[in-house]
Amino acid sequence: MADIAARAYLDAASSAPLHPVARQALLAALDDGWADPARLYTEARRARQLLDAARETVAGVLAARPDEVAFCASGTQAVQLAVLGGLGGRRRAGDLLVHSAIEHSAVLHAAESHVSGGGRATSVGVSRAGAVDPAEFAAAVRAPGVALAALMTANHEAGTVQPVAEVAAECSAAGVPLYCDAAQSVGRVAIPGGWSLLSASAHKWGGPPGVGVLVVRKGVRYRSPLPADERESGRVPGFGNLPAVVAAAASLRAAESEREAEAGRLWPLVDRIRREVAASVPDVEVAGDPVARLPHLVTFSCLYLDGEALLHALDARGFAVSSGSSCTSSTLTPSHVLEAMGVLSHGNVRISLHRGTTEHDVTRFLAELPGIVADLRATAGVSGL
C-alpha cells in the first residue's frame, strides 16, 4: 500500500481541502456566533454582526450588494432555489427554462422538477470543447415564453469556461434573467457580470461543507418555491449554520486574495498534464478547451479502460481523482457532460488541483499514469488494439 503521506488529493472540484483560514474562523465563530442573529440581546447582536460581516465579504467578492446575498444549506440548495425561484418569479412571462446541456445535475434535476410541474425546458448543446455557441443560446432565449436562462460560468467536468458575458448581453436584450451556477469559478477566476441570479458552494473554494450562496440581483423577480420563513430575506428557510457561514466568508476572502497567484501557479501545471498525458499515454483523449478553461481542472479518457478500475488503481498508488465514466455513477449512465461534448466517456479521469497541490504531486502522477494504464490494458487483454 502507498504511504498515506505520499497521497495526492486531486479532486478539488468535488471538494477542496479546508483552507486554514476557514478552520480558524470556524473555531472562533463556534464560540462567538451560536446565538440567534434575529434576536435583540447582546449575544444575538454579536451573532448578527458576524453574519452581516460574512454577507458583506461574500457580496464584495461577487460584486453584489449585501442584501442580494443569501446563505443556504448547500450549493445544491442554492441551485434549486435559484432555478425554481427564478422561474417562479417570472410565471407571468412564461414557463420555459433554457439551459445548456452541460449544467450540473442539480440544475438539470431542478429543470426536471419544473417540467414535472407542467413547465417546459429547452437544452442547448455544446461544441466538442464543451462550450455553448452564444448565437445558438441567444436564439433559444428569444423564443416566446422564456422565463429563465441558465448557463454555468465554467463546466465542472471539462473545465471549459462558458461565454457568459456574451450570453448575458443577449439575455438582457431579450428581457430574460440569466442564472449562473458559479460553483467551480468562485475563488478561482474572475466572475463575469451581467447575471441576474448566481449560486456558489463554499466547500469548492476551501470553505466548510454545508454553505451555499444564492445571489438574486435587486429588481429581479424571485418567488420562493418553499413555504414562508423570515430568514435570509425570505429566500432560505431555517436557522443557518452561522459558524460555517463565517468560515466560508473568511476563506473566500483568503482565496480571492490568493486567486491570481494560485491561478498563475496551477494553470501551467494543468497545461503540463494536458500535454504530457496526450504524449505519454496511447489512445487517450484530453477533453475540454485548452485555453478557455479553469486554471485548475482537466479531464481525459483512456480508450478500452473501465473508469472505476482506473480510479481504484490510481487510489492504490496514492492519487484521489474522480471519473465521469458510467461504471462510477450510481445510475450506471455516462456523464451527460462528456456525452454532450461527444468525447469518449469510458476510462475517464478528472483531475482538479488546489492550493495544497505541489508540482511534485503532478510530476509523480505523470510518471505513474502511463504504467498504470498499460497494466490495466494488459490485464484486460486490450493492449495494442
Partner 1 sequence: MIELDCRGLKCPLPVITLARRIAEAEPGETVRVLADDPAARADIPAWCRMKNHDYLGEPEPGTYEIRKKSS
Among 153, 345, 352, 357, which residue sits at the site for partner 1 (rule: CB under 8 A)? 345
Q: Which is nearer to partner 1, 326 or 352 (CB)?
A: 326
Which residue from 305, 321, 372, 373 is in contact with partner 1, where contact means CB under 8 A? 305
Could you give the residue numbers annotated as active site? 327
Q: Is 385 in the site for partner 1 (CB under 8 A)?
A: yes
Among 304, 320, 364, 383, binds partner 1 (CB under 8 A): 304
Please report where in the chains the cell 443560446 appears, as a residue: 137
Which stretch in 165-173, 187-195, 260-268, 326-334 sits in contact with partner 1 by CB under 8 A? Answer: 326-334
Binding residue for partner 1, selected from 28, 283, 368, 370, defined by CB under 8 A: 283
CB of 338 to partner 1, least distance (A): 6
Query: Could you tell me the three cell numbers for 39?
Result: 434576536
Q: CA-CA distance, 53 to 154, in Å (whole number)? A: 28
| Residues 26 and 244: beta-carbon distance below 8 Å | yes
18 near partner 1 (CB under 8 A):
no
Among residues 134 and 334, whose Cβ is nearest to partner 1? 334
Q: Which is nearer to partner 1, 75 or 334 (CB)?
A: 334
Cβ burial of 221 (10 Å; 0-12, 13-18, 19+) is middle
- Judged by CB under 8 A, does residue 326 bind partner 1? yes
How far is it, in rounded angstroms, from Cα 208 to Cα 217? 25
Give the residue with the Cβ less far from partner 1, 333 or 363: 333
Q: Quick check: 334 binds partner 1 (CB under 8 A)? A: yes
Of the listed pieces 22-30, 210-218, 219-227, 344-352, which binds partner 1 according to CB under 8 A? 344-352
Q: What is the largest CA-CA distance in the chain?
A: 73
Q: Is 288 in the site for partner 1 (CB under 8 A)?
A: no
Total length of the chain:
385
Answer yes or no whether residue 382 interacts with partner 1 by CB under 8 A: yes
Q: By CB under 8 A, name the one of 203, 235, 293, 346 that touches partner 1.
A: 346
Stretch that binds partner 1, among 3-11, 227-235, 244-252, 332-340 (CB under 8 A): 332-340
- Residue 372 as a binder of partner 1 (CB under 8 A): the answer is no
| Binds partner 1 (CB under 8 A): choice among 344, 349, 362, 376 | 344
Q: How far apart are CA 127 and CA 138, in angstroms?
A: 15
β strands within the chain, DSSP E: 8-9, 69-72, 96-100, 120-124, 146-150, 178-181, 197-201, 212-216, 284-287, 297-302, 319-320, 348-352
DSSP structure string for 237-287: -S---HHHHHHHHHHHHHHHHHHHHHHHHHHHHHHHHHHHHHHHSSSEEEE
Neighbours of 177 (CB within 10 A): 26
Compute the distance between CA of residue 93 and CA of residue 116 in angstroms, rounded to an integer: 19
**Alpha carbon separation from 26 to 52, 145, 206, 312 (Å, rounded):** 16, 45, 12, 33
Chain contacts with partner 1 (rule: CB under 8 A): 283, 285, 301, 303-306, 325-327, 332-334, 338-339, 342-347, 380, 382, 385
